[in-house]
Structure 1
């Protein structure tokens, strides 16, 4: 099995490089925010952060492809870095500290490495296939993480994102039913829900609408922590247009209750 230790060290370097830009623009009075064609917000920090990461990758991994939220894919080949410069832009522009830079590596269409750097929370989470899942501020201050052992929905904690998005795929009532049966529900949202699953603090985190750049970095962390991440259609990987992470023990039941054909109605990528 190939190892990705050098790539993981590079992911930390990339996170270090972009952090001054994102943190300095967070809550900045002159932050520039515009709307993309899909009406989602994008800030000058999003654009600058992705440009910085792409520049570093062009120098250090010139043979690798790069795709991101804000710019077109460059390069081609079996290795592709997938970047979300600021996951949680709506939080970022409103001064909510739940946002992160997501850096993923996909090899032969399989996510093999993930870095989630959330400087406003003073946390990072990272993993590579075969290396386990970790959290901390740096490689030198890392703690290994693992999912929970909760085996009943009645004992489970569920975290979700934008509740209104469930109506778009016709699964609002199914989600409500699952939430009613859970021990606890909270809307931590975005990357944080899935990182809490990886840490064992949350057991179920479903999202009805996701892009590849939202998922590529998250999947290796959840899976290396012992959990599962699939589309709501049960397919592995970040290709279904939506996703759900669980501790693994609850995955089959969650899919049985939320799984549907709506994934085919959502755009992929």
Structure 2
């Protein structure tokens, strides 16, 4: 147990409630979908889930701040909860089961609790600082996770989300080079790519365009499984806008391939 055990238990309680809400609206014929100013979709389920989590936090952790995708920042203090009610909304609204609720706790700027719950996949992953990474259906029915020991790219499996962001950043050639260097590549996408790194099922994952709520919960889970994460710039801030996760052994080479300018 860690000093954040109570917070981790609370995260599970909030995830249970979120799963109930999201599964009730998943594939619902009356699901309402709108387009946000950044041209990404948002459903009524996204907003309902975030409202429910915020309501629980107001009662259980009234002194903590909250940072959420749909309703912004509320409160201020050393501790803040970072919420993505549905990561993978485009999948959610099309009936694809790869989506999850992401819940993280930051303490003095460091992520110390992370939970990813994907009820349509029947999967959940979580970690608290110093307590290891786990997957299972509940705290009492869980298996500890560890990253792989693959040390060569030619033996490695690489998971990503899409080509679009790489092209927009002028890194498509780097991305394709990395694909060619790896043994296997698959676009499992979104949170799932990074959780597979924590499980040791794949060896590296990368996304070029992300927000802090997309990243926060994933980081501590990968770390506690023995892996390493950074942005494309090599930094470990949530504001970096990108995420690269590896088993640690491959990290420097992966970053080098994704960021080294190509000779024309």
TM-score by length of 2: 0.97
Does structure 1 residue 151 correspond to structure 2 residue 141? no
Q: Tell me if structure 1 keeps the 8 A contact 2:67–2:83.
A: yes
Q: Tell me if structure 1 keeps the 8 A contact 2:105–2:114.
A: yes
Does structure 1 residue 208 correspond to structure 2 residue 208? yes
Report what 1:53 is aligned to. 53
Deviation at residue 108 of structure 1 after TM alignment? 1.3
Q: Give CA-to-partner distance per residue, 1:116-160, whole Å, 9 cap, x none.
A: 000001110000110000000101110000000000000000001
Deviation at residue 170 of structure 1 after TM alignment? 0.7
Q: Tell me if structure 2 keeps the 8 A contact 1:230–1:238.
A: no
Deviation at residue 8 of structure 1 after TM alignment? 0.3
Does structure 1 residue 36 correspond to structure 2 residue 61? no
The aligned length equals: 261
Aligned with 1:76: secondary structure? coil
Does structure 1 residue 254 correspond to structure 2 residue 261? no
Distance in structure 2 (CA, Å) of the matches to 1:258 and 1:124: 30
TM-score by length of 1: 0.95
Deviation at residue 237 of structure 1 after TM alignment? 3.2
Q: Tell me if structure 1 keeps the 8 A contact 2:174–2:259.
A: no
Deviation at residue 40 of structure 1 after TM alignment? 0.2
Deviation at residue 259 of structure 1 after TM alignment? 2.8
Q: Structure 2 matches for 1:1-269, cutoff 5 A?
A: 3-259=3-259
Distance in structure 2 (CA, Å) of the matches to 1:144 and 1:205: 20
- Structure 1: state its 5+ residue gaps: 262-269
Runs of 4+ in structure 1 off by over 4 angstroms are none
Q: 1:260 to 1:15 in 2, by over 3 A?
A: farther
Distance in structure 2 (CA, Å) of the matches to 1:79 and 1:260: 37
Q: Give CA-to-partner distance per residue, 1:207-239, whole Å, 9 cap, x none.
A: 000100000000000000000110000001322
Aligned with 2:240: secondary structure? coil
